């Protein structure tokens, strides 16, 4: 069920009925799934493999599955549940069923869980369900209570990319010791880029503006900023104290989820239609205090096939108008997606953007630049 505007009562009734008949209801507000190798809705062309995913997050599922595939491993099943499934009103009905299904699936050897923090009583049920799971389980609950999570047998990742990296190691039967993220090699690369970008900045520039089509990617960026410098505003804040009074007006460090309902009523999702984001880019670069524009580009089935003509030229024009602003972009997708990831990466570089391997890497680069500029 891709649709939203389904009541909690209706969702609960549907999922209880499905459970009684040993069926899945993926959604409502479920944008992504890959079942038996078939991508559904917004999904990517990924390798088949031994890693199964249960996700209450569409772009989170896309980011993790794409990174796994780009690293040479693959997905057995990727089950979307809809974001509200892990709320206490629904009780994690489909999330728990997904875990059970992957545990019983002989093609799945590693399980990855992706979500915003489940309500505590749902998390308790997840932990209880995992007590009977013998396979490695990696979880990224963006903004979750680490103390509570660490009491379980979950392998806890801090970012979507780290979850993918750990899952790949597990699928290759390698050591599951969690490495710091970002690692030394990435840190050195980001520091080198930061030093170059700082030379282009004037004394007024100190803030980031993130314009996202992926809600979970927006959340991940908030978490990374919050852990480093705090005080990041959003229309969908992890901390309600930093909710924008007006989503059309950015304040200091701001990240916007342009796929949120307030922006999609009566118009296509920003993964399909770039016009709203293009307008917002022009608005943000007019602010003399802006130093960094942070962007995601989510490709694959369902997403626009024309980003090279409809989105990237807006970045090029903005960069030409304001060369002192750093544009950072990550691409969520694979080389086998219809949009051709490698060609898009080259087009973004030609437009003057920096391209990172993941949303997490892009966010860490942005936060390092802003931190050095004193924009907290």
Rounded mean pLDDT for each run of 10 residues along the chain, 376 residues in total: 86 96 92 94 97 97 98 98 96 98 98 93 92 94 70 84 95 77 89 96 97 96 92 94 97 96 90 97 98 98 96 98 98 96 96 98 98 90
Residues 247 and 350 in one domain: yes
CATH number at residue 51: 3.40.50.261
- Nearest Cα neighbor of 45 from 343, 304, 334, 339 is 334
Q: Assess if residue 3 is contained within a domain.
A: no
Residue 45, domain member (yes or no): yes
Q: Which of 150, 171, 192 is the last residue of a domain?
A: 171
Shared-domain flag, residues 128 and 223: no
| One domain for residues 240 and 314 | yes
Contact status, residue 369 vs residue 291, Cβ threshold 8 Å: yes
Pairing type for strands 32-35 and 38-41 reads antiparallel
pLDDT per residue over 92-104, tens digit each?
999 999 999 999 9
- With respect to residue 268, please indicate whether it lies within any of the assigned structural domains: yes
The span from the CA of 48 to the CA of 182, in Å, is: 27
Do 139 and 255 lie in one domain? The reply is no
Domain assignment of residue 339, yes or no: yes
pLDDT of residue 145: 67
Residue 1 covered by a domain: no
Tell me the three state secondary structure of residue 85.
Answer: helix
Res 182: pLDDT: 85
pLDDT at 149: 61
> Domain count of the chain?
2
Q: Domain range spanning residue 232? A: 184-373
If we measure between CA atoms, which residue out of 192, 189, 155, 188 comes closest to residue 171? Answer: 155
Q: How far is the C-alpha of 179 from the C-alpha of 45, rounded, in Å?
A: 28
- Same structural domain for residues 220 and 151? no
Do 156 and 197 reside in the same domain of the chain?
no
Same domain, 333 and 253: yes
Domain-terminating residue out of 143, 171, 199: 171
Distance CA(167)–CA(321), nearest Å, equals 42
Residues 152 and 231 occupy one common structural domain: no
Q: Are residues 218 and 152 in the same domain?
A: no
Last residue of a domain, one of 142, 171, 200: 171
Same domain, 116 and 151: yes
Say whether both 78 and 50 belong to one domain: yes
Residue 176 resides in a domain: no
The reply to whether 365 falls in a domain is: yes
In a domain, 67, yes or no: yes
Question: In this predicted structure, what is the pLDDT of residue 266?
Answer: 87
Same domain, 117 and 227: no
């Amino acid at each position: 069920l891709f649709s939203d505007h389904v009541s909690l009562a209706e969702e609960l009734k549907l999922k209880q009925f499905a459970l009684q008949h040993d069926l899945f209801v993926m959604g409502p507000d479920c944008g992504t799934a890959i079942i038996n190798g078939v991508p559904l809705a917004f999904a990517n062309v990924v390798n088949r493999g031994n890693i199964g995913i249960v996700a209450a997050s569409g772009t989170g599922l896309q980011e993790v599955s794409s990174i796994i595939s780009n690293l040479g491993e693959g997905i057995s099943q990727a089950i979307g549940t809809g974001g509200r499934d892990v709320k206490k009103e629904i009780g994690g009905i489909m999330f728990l069923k997904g875990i059970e299904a992957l545990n019983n699936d002989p093609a799945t050897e590693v399980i990855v869980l992706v979500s915003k923090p489940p309500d505590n009583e749902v998390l308790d049920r997840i932990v209880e369900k995992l007590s009977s799971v013998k396979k490695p389980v990696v979880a990224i609950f963006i903004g979750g209570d680490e103390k509570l999570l660490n009491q379980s047998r979950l392998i806890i990742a801090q970012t979507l990319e780290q979850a993918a990296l750990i899952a790949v190691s597990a699928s290759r039967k390698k050591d599951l010791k969690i490495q710091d993220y970002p690692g030394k090699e990435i840190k050195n690369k980001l520091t080198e880029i930061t030093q170059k970008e700082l030379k282009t900045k004037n004394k007024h520039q100190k803030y980031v503006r993130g314009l996202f089509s992926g809600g979970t990617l927006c959340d991940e960026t908030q978490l990374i900023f919050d852990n480093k410098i705090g005080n990041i505003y959003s229309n969908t804040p992890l901390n309600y104290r930093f909710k924008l009074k007006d989503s059309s007006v950015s304040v200091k460090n701001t990240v916007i989820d342009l796929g949120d309902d307030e922006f999609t009523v009566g118009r296509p999702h920003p993964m399909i239609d770039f016009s709203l984001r293009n307008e917002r880019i022009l608005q943000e670069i007019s602010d003399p205090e802006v130093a960094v524009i942070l962007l995601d580009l989510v490709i694959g089935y369902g997403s626009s096939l024309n980003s090279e003509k409809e989105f990237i030229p807006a970045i090029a024009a903005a960069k030409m108008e304001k060369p002192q602003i750093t544009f950072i972009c990550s691409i969520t997708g694979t080389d086998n997606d219809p949009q051709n990831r490698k060609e898009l990466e080259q087009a973004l570089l030609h437009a003057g953007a920096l391209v990172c391997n993941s949303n997490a890497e892009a966010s860490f680069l942005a936060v390092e630049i802003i931190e050095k500029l004193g924009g907290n």
